[in-house]
Amino acid sequence: METRSAKLYEEAVKYIPGGVNSPVRACGSVDSFPLFISHAKGSKITSVDGVEYIDFVESWGPMLLGHAHPEVTKAVQAAIERGTSFGAPCEDELVLAKMVCEALPSVEMVRMVSSGTEATMSALRLARAYTGRNKMIKFDGGYHGHGDAFLAAAGSGVATFSVPGTPGVPDAVVSETLIAPYNDLNAVEELFKQHGNDIAAVFAEPAAGNMGLIIPEPEFLPGLRSLCDKYGALLVLDEVITGFRVSYSGAQGHYGVKPDLTTMGKIIGGGMPVGAFGGRREIMQMLSPTGPVYQAGTLSGNPVAMAAGIATLKVLQKSDYPALASKVENFCQNLEAIFAKKGVQVCINRLASMFTIFLTGQKVKDFASAKTSDLAMLSKLYKGFRERGVYVAPSGFEVSMVSFAHTDEDFARTLSALEDIKL
Ligand code: KE4
């Protein structure tokens, strides 16, 4: 029963493009329309029709603790009582900055912004200023927010609608953006051989989350590190998804690779609008007002958002990441067994509390192999889950997320829903 959602959607499309404030929420690529959510708690979200769903989207990543965690809610309520924005420093900006620097050894200084997009576009400007170079390497299917320079064969929303690049971005801007297949070190080396002294940075998701979940091959991240060292480019790890999710020290801590800059978002705001970028002191000091690189934001370091982020990280400091990872591994093995019984070929990539079901017999290690997933069958899977109270990402190029609030019963209910779905 989705009548009130349908009615609200019908009205919303008159006032908001596609009825949504971010395209992937429109559910276009799974031939559905968006549920309007009334409230959420723990691992559940409840629609405006009063239907409860087990949530594997988690607001696209921020809700690793589950929705409306009491510690976060309490901190936000207290912060709001003190005012919502000062436009001047507050102590919590320093508290969260220190927590981020303590969690990520590669981050000696950090600047808060209000979204992952702001973090990556600012990090790119900083990398270009620091190196005096303009070109940047990103990966096919990689998504780093909607900053102009990154929208060249991007992943996530753009990949879902398979629109390579986008109108409105001047050719001149993306002409400085070089693209290689993920996990393909030879292609990256080739680009460095051709453009080495003009390349300011390599932007990589240390585990890719915008073409579905792609795991870095063992030599990939260390290989990027040594190529950047060899050619004097900066390695920027985009940890907007993986930061504080793969481990408390991010994917960089998990894989033992030290970037020059890191971009962050999602979890560090605990569901409030926070992005951040940070790294080596000598690079970060180039930012205004200590240096010439301009970057700014009215609500950067917002006190309410900082309080949410601090409360979230405090709980995560005491959380058992390995235990959650083994629950997800066990759940994915059970999913594989059910698909096998159905005679459906799948590749289920998983890392820590993330997984993606690719409906393909191929091993998925880059965007080209991710695109072999049967998207028509994915639509049926999405609708089948939704009809049975399970809320998964409405796209074959997103990651399913598990929170510390997900219970064994949630996994069991999801498995029995899958058993019941006719594919
Ligand atoms: P935001 O500007 O959406 O806060 O962050 C951009 C961004 C940057 N880097 C990575 C690796 C990201 O995944 C994102 C945003 N992720 C998408 C979903 N994969 C956000 C969902 C949406 O666009 O609505």
> What is the per-residue burial (b if ≥16 Cβ within 10 Å, else e) of 343-379?
eeebbbbbbbbbbbbbbbeeebbbbebbbebbbeebb
Q: Tens digit of pLDDT for each residue in 296-354?
A: 999 999 999 999 999 999 999 999 999 999 999 999 999 999 999 999 999 999 999 99
Model pTM above 0.95: yes
Given a cut of 60, whether residue 161 has pLDDT beyond it is no
Measured in Å, residue 145 CA sits from the centre of ligand 1 at 5
Given a cut of 60, whether residue 232 has pLDDT beyond it is yes
CB 378 within 8 A of CB 193: no
Among this protein's residues, is 266 annotated catalytic? Answer: yes
Instruction: Give nearest CA residue, ligand 1 atom 24.
Output: 22
Measured in Å, residue 116 CA sits from the centre of ligand 1 at 6
CA-CA-CA-CA dihedral for 337, 342, 347, 349, to nearest 10: -50
Residue 175 pLDDT: 84
Q: Of 9, 143, 248, 255, which residue is the catalytic one?
A: 143
Q: Which residues pair with 347 in a beta bridge?
A: 358
- Mean pLDDT of all residues in the chain? 95
Secondary structure of residue 141 in the 3-state scheme: coil
Q: Which atom of ligand 1 is nearest to the CA of 238?
A: 11
Given a cut of 70, whether residue 77 has pLDDT beyond it is yes
CB 335 within 8 A of CB 357: yes
Q: Tens digit of pLDDT for each residue in 104-135?
A: 999 999 999 999 999 999 999 999 999 999 99
Given a cut of 80, whether residue 159 has pLDDT beyond it is no
The CA–CA distances, whole Å, from 187 to 227, 238, 306, 324, 363 equal 11, 20, 40, 35, 20
Q: Tens digit of pLDDT for each residue in 279-293?
A: 999 999 999 999 999
Confidence of residue 163 (pLDDT cuts 50, 70, 90): very low
Contacts of 218 (CB under 8 A, 6+ apart): none
CB 231 within 8 A of CB 250: no
Across the range 147-159, mean pLDDT stands at 70
Ligand 1 contact via 398 beta carbon (within 6 Å): yes
The CA–CA distances, whole Å, from 370 to 25, 68, 208, 288, 422 equal 20, 33, 11, 40, 23
* Highest-scoring range by mean pLDDT, 173-187, 188-202, 211-225: 211-225
Instruction: Give nearest CA residue, ligand 1 atom 8.
Output: 144
**Position 385: which residue type?**
F
Given a cut of 60, whether residue 162 has pLDDT beyond it is no
Among this protein's residues, is 420 annotated catalytic? Answer: no
Given a cut of 90, whether residue 209 has pLDDT beyond it is yes
Confidence of residue 166 (pLDDT cuts 50, 70, 90): confident
Ligand 1 contact via 160 beta carbon (within 6 Å): no
Across the range 190-218, mean pLDDT stands at 96
Q: Cα 186 to the chain's mean position, in Å? A: 26
Measured in Å, residue 166 CA sits from the centre of ligand 1 at 16
Q: Tens digit of pLDDT for each residue in 8-59?
A: 999 999 999 999 999 999 999 899 999 999 999 999 999 999 999 999 999 9
Q: Tens digit of pLDDT for each residue in 30-40?
A: 999 999 999 99
Ligand 1 contact via 395 beta carbon (within 6 Å): no
Residue 183, number of CB atoms within 10 A of its CB: 21
Least Cα distance to 316 among 97, 120, 100 occurs for 100
Element at 70 (helix H, strand E): helix 70-81
pLDDT more than 90, % of the chain = 91
Measured in Å, residue 393 CA sits from the centre of ligand 1 at 13
Q: Of 266, 327, 365, 371, which residue is the catalytic one?
A: 266
Q: Find tokens 């997933």 and name the residue.
A: 373
Q: Of 55, 184, 238, 410, which residue is the catalytic one?
A: 238
Q: Edge-to-edge strand order for the sheet containing 354-358?
A: 347-351, 354-358, 400-401
- The Cα–Cα gap between 30 and 346 comes to 18
Q: Tens digit of pLDDT for each residue in 369-408?
A: 999 999 999 999 999 999 999 999 999 999 999 999 999 9
Given a cut of 80, whether residue 213 has pLDDT beyond it is yes
Decide the pairing of beta strands 135-139 and 44-47.
Answer: unpaired
Ligand 1 contact via 117 beta carbon (within 6 Å): yes
* Encoded tokens for 47: 């629609």
Q: What is the DSSP letter of 26?
A: G
Confidence of residue 160 (pLDDT cuts 50, 70, 90): very low
Ligand 1 contact via 143 beta carbon (within 6 Å): yes
Among this protein's residues, is 92 annotated catalytic? Answer: no
Residue 154 pLDDT: 55
Q: Edge-to-edge strand order for the sheet containing 390-391?
A: 37-41, 44-47, 52-55, 390-391
The size of the chain, in residues, is 423
